[in-house]
A = this chain, B = another copy of it.
Amino acid sequence: MSHSYPSHVTIVDVSPRDGLQNESMTVPTEVKQTLINDLIAAGVKKLEATSFVSPKWVPQMGDNSALLDALAPTRQTDVCYSVLVPNMRGFENAILHRPDEIVIFGSASETFSQKNINCSIDESIERFAPVAAVAKAQGIKVRGVISCTVGCPYEGEIDPSQVAYVTKRLIEIGSEQIGIADTIGVGTPLKVQRALQAALEYADISMLSGHFHDTYGQALSNTLAALQMGVSEFDTSVAGLGGCPYAKGATGNVATEDVVYMLHGMGISTGIDLDKLVVAGERISEFLKRPNGSNVARAIINKRRS
C-alpha cells in the first residue's frame, strides 16, 4: 500500500484558456483578468492565460493580446504565465508579451489530428519544431501536450505505443515537459497508468503532467493513479470551467478545488488556499450564470449556508 507520493504538486489552472474556450459565453477581458488575479491570490503559481489561435477558430480567445497587456502591470515574477500557440504565426504574436511558457501540442490519435488540425501527427510536430526552437532560444519554456492519450472520439482506445511515439517526437523538437491529456475523459486508472508508462520510455517522470477531463467522473481517480507513479503536476480548471456538467457534449475539465482538496487531504502541499480558490470559482461561475462545477465548492458553500 505504501506509495511514495510526491510531497508537493504543481497545479496548472487552465480555466482562463481551456476552461473559458469551452464555455458558450464569451467573457470580457476584464473578467478574465479578475479570474487570473483571483487564482494567483489563492496561491496558483502556474496558469494557462490564453491562446494565440486564430480568432476565426476560437473567438473566445480573440482578446489574447489585450488580456496579456492588461495583466502586464501586475505580473507576478513567481507565477508561470503559459500560453497555447498553434503555429509560428501565433507564436510570433505571443512572444511580444513574453510568456513564461508556450504550450504546443500533438495528438496520440492520427484521426483526431486530421479532424482537429487538418494534418498528420508528424506534420503537426514538424510545424512546431521551429516554434519550439525559437522559444528555447529566447528562454521561454516549451511544454508539449499530447491529446487523446487514452481514448479518441474517432478511433476509440489508443495504443500506448502512440503516446510513446508522440512523447519522443515532442522531446526531439525541444519540449521540456510533456502533458498527458485524456481529452475526452474516458480513461480509467490502469489505462491512464499505461499511457504514462509509455511516455516514460522517453521522458523522465519529473517532465510529465496529467490533464484529465472529468467527462465520465474519472478524473480524480486517474489523478490518484498518476500520483502513485510520481506525477507531480496537473492541469485543472477552477469551478470545472470548460464544460458545464449538464451541457451537451460537455468536455468537463476537472475542478481545481476537487483536486486540491484530495491532495491536501493526503498531506500533499499545493501552496493553494482552498477557501480563496472557492471564491475565485464562485465569482466566475456567477458571471457565467452557470452552476459551480466543483463538488468541493458546492459542499463548502452548502455547509456555510446550513
Contact = CB atoms under 8 A, between A and B. Distances in A.
Interface of A: 1, 185, 187-191, 193, 197, 214-218, 220-221, 223-225, 228-229, 245-250, 252, 255, 258, 261-262, 264-267, 291, 294-296, 298-299, 302, 305-306
A306 B197 CA distance: 33
A225 B261 CA distance: 16
A25 B218 CA distance: 29
Count this chain's copies in the assembly. 2
A99 B1 CA distance: 37
Nearest to A225: B224
A265 B295 contact: no
Contact of A1 (B228, B258, B298, B306): B228
A217 B249 contact: no
Max chain B CB contacts within 10 Å: which of A185, A216, A245? A216
Given A1-B228, A218-B262, A246-B298, 7 more contacts: A191-B265, A215-B299, A216-B299, A218-B261, A221-B224, A245-B295, A245-B298
A193 B262 contact: no
A302 B246 CA distance: 9
- Leading 5 A-B pairs by shortest Cβ distance: A188-B265, A217-B295, A217-B258, A220-B221, A221-B224
Contacts of A255: 217
Contacts of A261: 188, 216-218
